[in-house]
Amino acid sequence: MKSFSIKFSLVFLMFFQLGLSAQEPNVEKPAIIPQPAEVEWKDDFFTLQERTVVCFNSGAEASAAWLQRLLQNTYTQSYTMRGENCNGFNLNINPELEETLGKEGYNLDISSSNVRLEAATEAGLFYAIQTLRQMFPSGIENEKVSEEIKLSQVSITDTPRFEWRGSMLDVARSFFGPNYIKKHIDRMALYKLNKLHLHLTDDQGWRIEIKQKPKLTELGSKGAVKGGRSGFLTQEEYKDIQEYAAARNIVIVPEIDIPGHIYAALMAYPELNCDDLSNIEPRRATPPELFHGYEVGWSKFCLDKPEIYDFVATVLGEMASITTGDYLHIGGDEIEDERYREFVIKADSIVQNLGKTTIGWEEVTQAAVDTTFISQRWNGKTKSVVKTPIIESICSSFYFDHANVPGQEMTNNWCQENGVSLKDTYNFKVTNPNTIGVEAPVWTEMVLSDEAADDRFWPRSIAMAEVGWTKEENKDYKSFIERLGAQGLRLDFMDVNYFRSPEVEWNSDPKKGIFSEFMPESKF
């Protein structure tokens, strides 16, 4: 009798861990990030059947394909058909909803018989699907889920706080190619991030093919920081990345850093230097020598030479011709020159004439640039002479090349000695009324591998995603880290080498395997 009692207790414990109690299939509510604007959970469930229909109306074809892609990793056989009221899944685009939901908001309603997603645009439906995705078992990310799936009944109305929710990857100091960039895009999409800023050029390397200036990649792409990777994106690869991103409602924002941080171009085209090389001070390298150091902000165009504007117009013109998004980033940081303001105004004019919106680091607002110019704040110390839209990338909250925790190796903590914690990111307060959003950069002086980049981006990018999407009054750090902990297994299934922030109780343990959430003592 004692043996039976022990066995019964173990079986009961196992079912309790799995959340498969016959009386209550899963009492825990899904851990959704970013926190939606309005959520009303109900007590019952929608049970995914062995066969189900995905109905969609005109304009929602792409969303139906995304939903089917999600369902392919379950036991159900799903079928698509045009319609608006089916038992199963319903995806509807209604442009009139833009008045209340904007371009990216959505409604998600789950009842006992159907799951209804509606929005004004495809982007809104895509984000509704990302919320729904987080309600499915984590294993759906890379394997077929065979156990019965029950979705909590809920009514969600959701809209983003900011239009700009960005991530920045520096591929100039150490190169990251198309495969990693696409993985990063996939992860961004899950958490409703919508802008990927690629820092394509710097002193160490030039990473984008410019057909009219072939030496930029023939010579300028050969450099990298010590231990880093060299290389470049062909224009075809760049276009493919943009297409991949656009399918996930992410816009690629290319940065050609000018007039400083430009040694890779000066090395490839020495005529852009002053005759006495006075534009390279202090002199870290001399053309045709490559630069492999960590130092930045020591090179600039010879701004006395009018021909530099021909170079700028050629490069920016070619970038505009291959860039589908609305933006060109011209850098503009960390330079002192009496002709700096003149250069910024001319570069802004070039970009405007190409039909794009100019973005630059905050120093650009020392010049009387056009009021459409977007300023990216990184230290908040610039005395601006013009009011412009602002992207907040303040280093003490959003520079993710900094340490996750004090003392982390291979981190560059010049802005904040103890690094940038998860809480530093989450608790950032937006105070400037001109702010259009937030963006977190990873500079790669000391980020030399895909695994290291993952470690720096995640999970802090998830905290930033909630800062960008969720209204301040709906944010709560305690709630966030509880929901974040429940994302651990999903990140494992997505093969993300995320930093396991010690303040978070993660629902998986890599030392025990990804199934530790369900079988804490299992060695399976």
Polymer length of the chain = 524
Contacts of 162 (CB under 8 A, 6+ apart): 430, 435, 436, 437, 438, 468, 469
Residues annotated as catalytic are 334
Phi–psi pair at 254, nearest 5 degrees = -85, 140
Dist. CA 266–CA 133, nearest whole Å? 48
Beta strands 106-110 and 150-158 are: antiparallel
Q: What is the CA radius of gyration of the chain?
A: 25
Reading phi first (left if > 0) and then psi (alpha if -120 to 50, else beta), residue 286 is in beta
3-state secondary structure 433-495: CCEEEEEEEECCCCCCCHHHHHHHHCCHHHHHHHHHHCCHHHCCHHHHHHHHHCCHHHHHHCC
Is residue 379 within 8 A of residue 362, CB to CB? The reply is yes
Contacts of 12 (CB under 8 A, 6+ apart): none
For residue 110, the surrounding DSSP H or E stretch is strand 106-110
For residue 164, what is the DSSP state?
Answer: E
Dist. CA 361–CA 253, nearest whole Å? 13
Contacts of 242 (CB under 8 A, 6+ apart): 252, 323, 324, 325
DSSP 315-328: HHHHHHHH--SSEE
Phi–psi pair at 42, nearest 5 degrees = -120, 175
Dist. CA 252–CA 237, nearest whole Å? 13
Cα-to-chain-centroid distance, residue 420? 17
Q: Tokens for 130?
A: 């990302």
Reading phi first (left if > 0) and then psi (alpha if -120 to 50, else beta), residue 87 is in beta
Which of 417, 390, 391, 395 lies closest to 406 in space, CA to CA? Answer: 417
